[in-house]
Amino acid sequence: MTGPGGRSRPAQLAAVLGLAGLALFVVGLQSRPAQLRPGVPDFVNADRPGINAHNSPSVAVDPGSPATIAVADRIDTPRFSCSVSVSTNAGQSWRPLTMPLPVEVPNCHQPDVAYGPGGKLLVLYTATGGRFNQPIGVWLQRFAGESPEGPPARVASGEAFHPRMAVEGPNVWVTWIQADGAAEKPLGFGTTPALLRLGRSTDGGATFGPVVTIGDGRRVVQPSPVSIGGGRLAVGALDLAGDFDDYEARHGGQGGPPSEEPWRVVTWTSVDGGVTFGPPVAVADDLVPPARIIVNLAPAPSFAADPSQDGRLYAAWDAGRGDARDVFLARSDDAGRTWSAPVAVASRPRGQFLPAVAASPEGRVDVIFYDRSADPEDVQAHVTMASSWDAGRTFRTVTISDAPFDTRIGFGSLQGIPLLGSRLAIHSGTDRSLAFWSDTSGGTIDTNVQDLASVGVDVEEAGRRRPALMLLGALLLGLGGGLVAVVGLRPGHRRPQEA
C-alpha cells in the first residue's frame, strides 16, 4: 500500500520515527537551564510548640556523615534562651538536643554550631543574666554523638557579645565583641569602640589559649570567622562607623528613622592561624543603613569560603531603604586581600534583607534572604533563594517559603524595631541545599511567636545533558532505520523500472 505522494506506509512510518528520534536526540544533547526545586517547608521546632521566638539559626553538617545535621537558634522572647536540634536523616525530621549548663550559667543564648574532628558536635553559646540581661560569658560545649563530652570550656568573660566560631581540623577559632561597660547601657555599647577579640583552641575546643585583639578601634558588630584552609582565617564584620545612634543606643531602643551615617562591611585576614592579622580591608563602603537597629542583637553580614577554589571567599549583606533595599554579594579570590565590586543578587521593588551565603563543594554559591517585593506595603515577606554557577556574577532565584508572613512580629515590635533575628542559615550540598529562617505565621505583635522553618531545595546545574531523551531518540532512530532496512529487503518491494 502507498500513501500520499506514492510512498509506502512503512516508509512513512520510518521517516516519522527517524525525524522524532533525531529531534529527541538533539534536544537531549542541548543544555537546559539550572533548576531549583524547593520541597515543602516544615518547622524544626514542630515537636516543641510554645510561645518562643526562634530566630538567628546556625547550621552544621557532619563531614563524615552528611545525613547528620545540627541546627541551633536564638530565642528572644518570652525570655532569652536557645534551642539545639539534630537530624540524622538529612533534615527530614528533628529532635531536640539537651544542653547541659554549669550551675553558674542561667541560660544559653546566641548559639553557634560546628563539627570538629571525629564528628564531634561543638555548641558555642552566650549566657545572659547580668545587669539589663547582659552577657556573663561565652562557653563551648562538646558532644560525642548526642552526649556531652566533659564540662563546657569557658571562652570569654562577661560583656562578650556576638560570638561565632570556625573550625579547621583541631583548630577552633571564636570571635566576639568585648564591649566592656555595656552593662551601663541597656541596649547599646559605650562611647569608646568595643574590642574585636579572638580565642583559639588547638585541641578541638577543649581548652583555649591567650586572647588576640583584632582591629583598630572600629565600631564593628557581628564578627564572623571563616576558615580558608592551611591555617588561614578571615574575619568579617559590619562596621557602624559614625552611626553613634545605633552603636550607643542613643535612640533608647525606640523606633524611628535610620541613621544617616553610612555603614561598611570589612574583613581581616590571618595567615598564621589567628596569631596575627593584616590591616582591615573594605568589602563595601558607604552603605545606606536600611533601618534602626538594637546593637546587642544587630543584623549580621554573612561570609563563606568556596571549597572548590583556594582562597575564594564570599560576603553578603543588605543596604538601602524602601524600594532601594537590596541584598548584595562580593567575592574575593585572594583570601580577603581584595574584593570584587558588589552585585545586587535580586534587585526588585521593595525590601530584601538579612542574607545568608554558602558555597557547595563544586563552587555553586547560594544566597537566601527575606523578600518583601511581592507586598506593596513592604510588610509581608517570603524567603527567596538565589543560586549562581558563575562565581556570583549572575543568579537564578526561586521562592522557598510556602506562604508570606508578617515581618513586624518579633522582639522589639512594641518599640517599633521588630527583629527577625540577626541571621539566616544555609548549607549548600552538591545537589541539595538546606535553608533555615524565622517564620512568624504562628504569632502576633502581642505574642511575638516565631518558628524556625526549614526546607530542602533540590539543585540541578545548567548544562547537563539529558541522557534519557538521548537514549529514547537513539532508540527511535534505530527503529526507523531498521524499518527502512526491512522494507528494502522485503520481496517484491522494488520500484518498477521505467520503460
Ranges of beta strands (E only) in 349-483 are: 352-359, 365-371, 380-388, 396-399, 405-406, 425-428, 432-439, 451-460
Q: How far apart are CA 449 and CA 406, in angstroms?
A: 11
**Closest listed residue to residue 36, CA positions, set 432, 466, 437:** 432
Cell 529487503 -> residue: 489
Q: How far apart are CA 356 and CA 366, in angstroms?
A: 8
Q: How far apart are CA 334 and CA 336, in angstroms?
A: 6
Cell 534551642 -> residue: 83
Please give the chain's pLDDT, 499 residues, in tens: 555 555 566 667 666 666 775 665 555 555 567 799 999 999 999 999 899 999 999 999 999 999 999 999 999 999 999 999 999 999 999 999 999 999 999 999 999 999 998 999 999 999 998 778 899 999 999 999 999 999 999 999 999 999 999 999 999 999 999 999 887 878 899 999 999 999 999 999 999 999 999 977 899 999 999 999 999 999 999 999 999 999 999 999 999 999 999 999 999 999 999 999 999 999 999 999 999 999 999 999 999 999 999 999 999 999 999 889 999 999 999 999 999 999 999 988 889 999 999 999 999 999 999 999 999 999 999 999 999 999 999 999 999 999 999 999 999 999 999 999 999 999 999 999 999 999 999 999 999 999 999 999 999 987 655 667 566 756 766 775 666 565 555 555 544 444 3
CA atoms within 13 A on the CB side of 231: 8
- Whether cis (ω within 30° of 0) applies to the bond prior to 361 is no
Sign, CA dihedral 417-419-423-428, equals negative
Cell 526546607 -> residue: 455
